[in-house]
Every structure is written in C-alpha cells, then in structure tokens.
Structure 1
Amino acid sequence: MATIAEIQLPVGEFALSHTLETLEEVNFEIERIVAHDPDSVMPYVWATGADSEELLSVLEEDSSVSEIEVIAEPGEESLYQMNWIDSVEALIHILTEEEGTILAAEGRQQGWFMRILFPDREALSQTYEFCEEHDLSMDIQRIYNIDQGKQGRFGLTDEQEETIAAAYEHGYYDVPRDVSLSDFAEELDISHQALSERLRRGHKTLVENTVIVGRDGEE
C-alpha cells in the first residue's frame, strides 16, 4: 500500500547547508526534482527572504551546488535550476532505489521538511535503514496510508472534506459571499457554531498539510 511520510532532515546533512547557515532568513521550496544521475539531483527551487544578488553569490560558494541558473525573478522571489552534488545521498536513494516521489519540500535554517510518497511501507523502512547505515538523521514526523484517500494526503476527515467542498460549491468562499454562514448551516441542518468549528478545524488541517510543511510548534 502506497504510503506518504513527512520527514525532517538536518540542515547540516543536506544540500544548501552553507547557504542556509549563511543567510538566516532565506527559505527554499522545491518546485520539481529529478535524479540527474547516480550521484546528483537537479531540482527547480524557489527562494525567498534574501536579496537575489547576495543569494546568488552565496549559492555559487555552496559546495553542494555544481551548476545554477536563474530561471525567473518575479517580485521578491526567485526560481533557480540547480545541480546538487553533495549531501543528497538520502534523496537519491528515495528517488532511484525506492521509487519515491517528493510531493513537497521546504528548506530553512531549522531544517529540510519533506512530504514523500513511497510505493509501500517497506520502501519507507528501507530508506530509514539506509539513513541509519550512512549516519544520516531522518526524523519521521507523520505517516499516512494512501487508502485514506484525501485524508491521507491532506489530513481531513470525511466530514471536513465534504463540508469544505460544499462551502466552495455554495459560494461561501466567493467575494462577496453567495451564502452566509447561517444560511449554509441551515442548508446542512447543523448549528451555526458547529459549522464554524468544523470549517475552522478543517481549514487549519488543510493549511498544515498543504501550505505549511514541518512548521508545527514554531513561533
């Protein structure tokens, strides 16, 4: 059964450690990543929180990067294509040996946080064992089974998923709203308070499992 795992990797044991340790406010988000060859990976990476010229200068000094190209610089963020050649053993193992897929990945000074789809639970176990054998730290924070459907991907209960979908269909999220919370609650035959709490919990869970990666407990 396919399995989704959320993991954390220490900055010092993964790519771009020099850049993340030098520029405290920089934040990286992987847009797409493929195994370039058995010794490197080639990701497309969004960067925010740092001056683009300073960031490029620091990236060029980063030993984990052999090639870098600026793809776009819209607003205060930049998109780079990079070739990572150092400290990516775990990532290469996941992509090539275990046929894993990176669903989301974000790097900042606190560490790298990833959501990964493994073909089965055994592939996740083998990745963990690989990290232990190579003295690499991998903190598994959450595990979902794909047979949980959207709950497995987004952490929503069936009730939360159905309510949020219905809210969208009724125009609750439109500006201006096509339906008030009271009218929507009446349509669902539940109290105003119960609907408000269900939506709030569902929105919080949805944000945690789609927009936010590994930020639980941060200030």
Structure 2
Amino acid sequence: MGFVLEARLSHEDLVLMPTIEDVSGVTIRYEYTVSSGEDTFLFVSVFGNEYEAVEEAIDADHTVSDSTRIAAFPNRTIYRVTLASALDPLPAQCSEEGLFVFKLTSGERGWIIRIYLPDRDALAVFREGCRDRGVSFRVRQLQESGSLDDATYFLTEQQHEILLLAYYAGYYDIPRRVSQGDLAEQLGVSTSAVSQRLRRAIAELIAATLETNRTPETLE
C-alpha cells in the first residue's frame, strides 16, 4: 500500500533556504527543474504580495543566481532561477526508490515536503540521504496511503480555486493575513460568494476525509 510522508527539511545550503528565512510572509512552491548545458534552472511559484522583498532576498541568496520573473498572476508570481551548487531537497539516491513528490512548499522556516513512499525501506533511504548531507529532517506526518490524496477530486474547480487562494494568501493563518473581502476582490466576486464557496469546499473535504460510519456522541 505504501506511505505518505510529510516532513520538514532545513539546511543553510538547501535551495532558496536563505530566501525562505528572510521572507516569512509568502509561500514558495517548488515546481520543477530543467537542465540546459551546464546549468540547472529551477521554477518556483511565490504566493503572497511581498514581491519586492522576495526578489531582493533571491538576489542575495547564495544558493541561486540569475533570477527572472516569468509571469505574474493575482497572488502568484512565477520565477526562474539558476541553481548555484545548492542542495536539492530530494536526495539523489531516492530516484530509484519509487518516491513521488506530491508537494514541496516553504513553511516553518524550511521546506515542507509531502511524498509517497512505496515501503519503509524507501523511507529509510530518504532519511539516510538527508542525514548524509547534513539536512535536518523532522517528520510531521506519516500514514498509510489510501484514498486521502484523491479527496481533492470531490471539489469543483471553483472550490479548489478558492481553497488554494485562501490558503496561500494567509486566510487560515493565525492571525489572518487576508479577509474574505480581500479574497472576493482578487476573484472578482462578492464576499457572500466567497463565504459560500469556502463553506461548501470545506464541507466536501470533511465528508471525503473523515470516517463516515461514526458520528460524534454529542450529536447522537
């Protein structure tokens, strides 16, 4: 069946770690890398509104060089950077172990990785690969894989959009960094529509992920 692991990785030479530490008000999502000749390019999405601070931090980041803003969208900007002898969050030896990366985003002053592991041997390889490179590795969650990762397919496109925007904009942060009015303005809809979409999306996620054969004793 395999496992789904969520872990926090940190090391001063991990790609974009200095930027993650310098600019805490945004979320960076690792998209993919492309090799061309002797260079390796990394594409990342940055969610938030502190783009000037992000670009200043990237320019001073020793793990990358030659930052280029590729595209800008409401609440999201895509950058391409050249890797500069930086550590990759995924150890090289993991490529033959059947690991699949669901998501790699910044968080807790490090990289938060969520990956599929076919067995516990693959977990041991991943952990050892981090240790050998001196990368701090802390498990946040480890569970048997199942239908949990299919839960997003219960969401409509609008529900998926509003949850993604709300999450990365900081609506669920404590304290909140944006209001429903802010989300409504970015989406071009009413605050009431945002409220309804959020409630319906969260209800779908709860229905898809919680055990349906149990009810709280207080509701029986």
Q: Which amino acid aligns with 2:120?
A: R
Q: How many Å separate the matches in 2 of 1:135 and 1:85?
A: 18
Compared CA separation, residues 66 and 201, structure 1 to 2 (3 A): closer
2:206 to 190, 196, 202: 202
Mapping of 1:149-188 within 5 angstroms?
A: 150-151=147-148, 153=149
Letter in 2 for 1:19: T
* SS of corresponding position for 1:138: strand
Q: After superposition, where does 1:131-150 map in structure 2 within 5 Å?
A: 131-146=130-145, 148=146, 150=147
* Separation of aligned partners in 2, 1:85 and 1:98: 26
Amino acid of the residue matched to residue 112 of structure 1? W
Question: SS of the counterpart of 1:132?
Answer: helix
- Map 1:54-133 to 2 at 5 A: 54-93=53-92, 96-108=95-107, 110-133=109-132
CA distance in 1, matches of 2:17, 2:43: 17
When residues 43 and 117 of structure 1 are mapped into structure 2, their CA distance, relative to the original with a 3 A threshold, is farther
Report the Cα distance in structure 2 between the residues aligned to 1:14 and 1:126, rounded to whole angstroms. Answer: 18
Query: For the Cα contact (< 8 Å) 2:8–2:112, is it kept in 1?
Result: yes
Label 1:71 to 1:95 Cα distance change in 2 as closer, same or farther (>3 A): farther
Residue 95 of structure 1: how far off its partner (Å): 5.4
Instruction: Show CA shifts across 1:60-103 (max 9, x none).
Output: 22111134322211123211123334442442426535352221
Two-structure CA RMSD over aligned residues (Å):
3.8
| CA–CA distance in structure 2, aligned partners of residues 92 and 44 of structure 1 | 18
Structure 1 pair 89–45 and aligned structure 2 pair: CA distance change class (3 A): closer
Q: Determine what percentage of the aligned residue pairs are the same residue.
A: 20
Whether contact under 8 Å (1:20, 1:109) holds in the other structure is no
Number of equivalenced pairs: 166
Given the two structures, how large is their TM-score scaled by the length of structure 1?
A: 0.59
- Write out per-residue CA displacement over residues 3-29 of structure 1, whole angstroms, 9 at most, x where no aligned residue: 321111126352212212222312212
User: 1:158-203, CA deviations, whole angstroms, 9 ceiling, x for partnerless residues?
Assistant: xxx9xx95x98xxxxxxxxxxxxxxxxxxxxxxxxxxxxxx58726
SS of corresponding position for 2:43: strand
Q: Which runs of 5+ in 1 are unaligned?
A: 169-198, 207-219
- 2:44 match: 45
Aligned equivalents of 2:58, 2:48: Cα separation in 1: 14
Equivalences for residues 7-22 of structure 1 within 5 A: 7-10=7-10, 12=12, 14-22=14-22
**Is contact 1:27-1:107 (8 Å) kept?**
yes
**Structure 2 segments unaligned to the other structure (5+ residues):** 157-202, 211-220
